[in-house]
Amino acid sequence: MIEHLPVLLVTVPIVAALLILLLGWHDSRFCYPLTLATILFQFAGGIALLIEVMREGTIHYYLGGWAPPLGIEFVIDTFNGYILPIVLLLALATAVYARRSVEKEIKPEKIVSFYVLFQLLVTGLVGMTITGDIFNLYVFLEISSIAAYTLIASSRKPRAYVAALNYLVLGSIAGGFVLLGIGNLYVATGTLNMADLARLLPASYGLATVHTAFLLLVIGFSIKVALFPLHLWLPDAYTEAPSAVTVLISTVMAKVSVYAMFRVIFSVFTTAYFVETVPVTELILFIAAVAIVAGAVLAIAQEDLKRMLAYSSVSQVGYIVFALGVANQIALEGGLLHILGHAVMKGCLFMVAGVIIYRLGTSSFSDLKGVAATMPVTCAAFALAGASMIGVPPTIGFASKYYLVLGALEAGHWVYAAVLLAGSLLAVGYIWRFIEVAYFSASSHHEGGDHHPAPGVREAPLSMLVPMVILSILCLVLGIFVDPLMKIVAPAVSLLLGGA
C-alpha cells in the first residue's frame, strides 16, 4: 500500500469528487461525509509518507512504470514530506469546519458543486506538492486555481463575483508567466523533470533563455503567493469568499504556492544560480522587507476583521520570502517553520472571523463591541493565535521569527533583522484592534446603537469550534515542542541548500 500511496493521494480524491457529484445529485447529504472521509484518508497518507521518508529517504514513484525523464514521477523528499501533512491537516480542519458555515453562506443548490470543487482544490494542491515534473506542477496549479476562482464566487455576496473575476484575471496572468517560464526551461534543457533540470541547467546558466525563465517563474509564483506589490487580488478574494473557502485558500493554497516557489528556485535553479550567477538575494530581501511593513500597515488601517486578516497575510508572506532572500540554513529553517506556523495561526484567525460572521452576520469592527462576553471561547482562540502572529514566546510564531532574525544576523543583515522586529510590533497594532473591540468596548446595545448583537448571540456550533480551538492550541504546542519539528525541518533545508 505504502509504495502506491503517492499516486493514491491524487487518484482517490479525483474519483471521490466524481462520486460526490453523482451521489450529490441523488441526495446532497452524501457530499459532506464523502469529502471528510477522503481528506481524512489523504491526511493519514501524508503522515505515513512523512514517516517513511524520515526513515527510508526519498520516495520515487514512476507513473505507469515509465522512468523519468521520459515518464512523470512523483517524488516525496524531506521538504514536501513536511509540507504535505501541513496542507492536509488544514484541509481536514477546514472540511470539518465547513459544514455549518457552508449551509449558511452558500445557496442550497450550490452545495453539491461546492464540495466537488473543494475536493478538486485539495487534489490539485496535493498534486503540486508531490510531483517531480515541472509541467505537471503547472497542470495541478491550474486545477487548484480554477477550483479556487469558482469557490470564491460561490458566496451569496454580489461582490464575491468581482473578487473572483479579479483573482481569475491575475491568476491567469500568473499561470501564463509560469507556463512561459517552463517553456523556456524546456527550450534550454530539453527536459521537464525537476531533478534532471537541476543537473542540466548549470551548463546553460549564461543563456538569456534561462534568465528569462527564472524571471517569469518568480513573477508568476509571486502573484500566486500575493507577494507585495503583486497582492492586489488577495484582499477582496479573502474578504468576499465564503468563510470556509477563505480558510482554505489563505492557509493551504497560499502555502502550496510558496512551496512551489521554493521548489523551483532551490531544486531547479539551485543556490549556485540565484546567489552566485545572478545575485538577486538582495532584491528579494528588500521586497520581502517592504511586504512585511506595508502589509502590516495596511492591516492596521482596515475597519473589517476579515479584511484586516487578509492584509496581514500579505505581511506574513513577506516573512517566508525573507528566508529565501537570506538563503542560509538558519533563516530557511525559520521560513519553513513559518509556513507551518502561519498556516495554523491564519487558519485559526479566519475561522474566528467565520464564526463571528456565522453568529452576527458581519465582521465589521464597529459591530463587534463586547463580543467576548457572549463568545468567550472564540475570542480566546483569537487571542492565542494572535499572540502567535505577533511572536509572543513560547508560541510557534515566536520560534519561526527567532530563527529568521538569527539567520539575518548571521548573514550580516542587521537592518533587515530590525525590520522583522518592526513587523512584530506592527502586528501588535492590528491584533490589538480586535482584542480591544471584543474585550474592552461596551457592547453596542448598552449604548442604544443601531447594531446590537442579538441577545441570542452565543458560541458557534461544535463542528466549527473544535477545529478552531485545536488550531489555536497547536499555535502553543508547536512552539513549545519545536525541537522534534526541527528534526524534520533541518534536513529539509539542507536538502534545499544542497540543490536537487
Q: What confidence tens digit (pLDDT) does each residue in 418-428 have?
A: 888 888 888 88
Instruction: List, for residues 51-89, the tens digit of each pLDDT value.
Output: 888 888 888 888 877 877 778 888 888 888 888 898 999
What's the rounded mean pLDDT across residues 175-198?
A: 88
Measured distance CA(53)–CA(58) in Å, rounded:
6
State residue 77's pLDDT score. 86
Q: At 472, which amino acid appears?
A: S
Q: How confident is the model at residue 400 (pLDDT cuts 50, 70, 90)?
A: confident
314: Cβ contacts below 8 Å, ≥ 6 apart: 226, 227, 228, 231, 234, 235, 291, 294, 295, 298, 299
Phi, psi (5° rounding) for residue 61? -125, 115
pTM of the predicted model as reported, rounded to 2 decimal places: 0.88
Share of residues in the chain with pLDDT > 90 (%): 7
**Residue the block writes with cell 480566546:** 380
Mean pLDDT across the chain? 84
What's the rounded mean pLDDT across residues 153-174?
A: 86
Is residue 194 over pLDDT 90? no
Burial level of 28, CB count in 10 A (0-12/13-18/19+)? Answer: middle
State residue 450's pLDDT score. 45
Is residue 443 over pLDDT 80? no
Instruction: List, for residues 266-312, the tens digit of each pLDDT value.
Output: 888 877 777 777 777 888 888 888 998 988 888 888 888 888 888 88
What's the rounded mean pLDDT across residues 243-257?
A: 86
410: Cβ contacts below 8 Å, ≥ 6 apart: 328, 330, 331
Share of residues in the chain with pLDDT > 70 (%): 96
**Residue the block writes with cell 512523470:** 72
State residue 176's pLDDT score. 92
Q: Higher model confidence: residue 355 or residue 276?
A: 355
Measured distance CA(317)–CA(312) in Å, rounded:
9
Measured distance CA(443)–CA(367) in Å, rounded:
9
Measured distance CA(348)–CA(323) in Å, rounded:
24
Is residue 449 over pLDDT 60? no
State residue 182's pLDDT score. 92
Cβ atoms of residues 283 and 212 within 8 Å:
no
State residue 72's pLDDT score. 84
State residue 139's pLDDT score. 92
Cβ atoms of residues 442 and 370 within 8 Å:
yes
Is residue 202 over pLDDT 90? no
State residue 500's pLDDT score. 37
Q: How confident is the model at residue 181 (pLDDT cuts 50, 70, 90)?
A: very high
State residue 183's pLDDT score. 92
Measured distance CA(116)–CA(472) in Å, rounded:
28
Instruction: List, for residues 204-232, the tens digit of each pLDDT value.
Output: 787 888 888 888 998 898 888 878 887 77
H, E, C per residue of the chain? CHHHHHHHHHHHHHHHHHHHHHHHHHCHHHHHHHHHHHHHHHHHHHHHHHHHHHHHCCEEEEHHHCCCCCCCEEEECHHHHHHHHHHHHHHHHHHHHHHHHHHHHCCHHHHHHHHHHHHHHHHHHHHHHHECEHHHHHHHHHHHHHHHHHHHCCCCCCHHHHHHHHHHHHHHHHHHHHHHHHHHHHHHHCCCEHHHHHHHHHHHCCCHHHHHHHHHHHHHHHHHCCCCCCCCCHHHHHHHCCHHHHHHHHHHHHHHHHHHHHHHHHHHHHHHHHHHHCCCHHHHHHHHHHHHHHHHHHHHCCCEHHHHHHHHHHHHHHHHHHHHHHCCHHHHHHHHHHHHHHHHHHHHHHHHHHHHHHHHCCCEHHHCCCHHHHCHHHHHHHHHHHHHHHCCCCCHHHHHHHHHHHHHHHCCCHHHHHHHHHHHHHHHHHHHHHHHHHHHCCCCCCCCCCCCCCCCCCCCCHHHHHHHHHHHHHHHHHHHCHHHHHHHHHHHHHHHHCCC
State residue 179's pLDDT score. 94
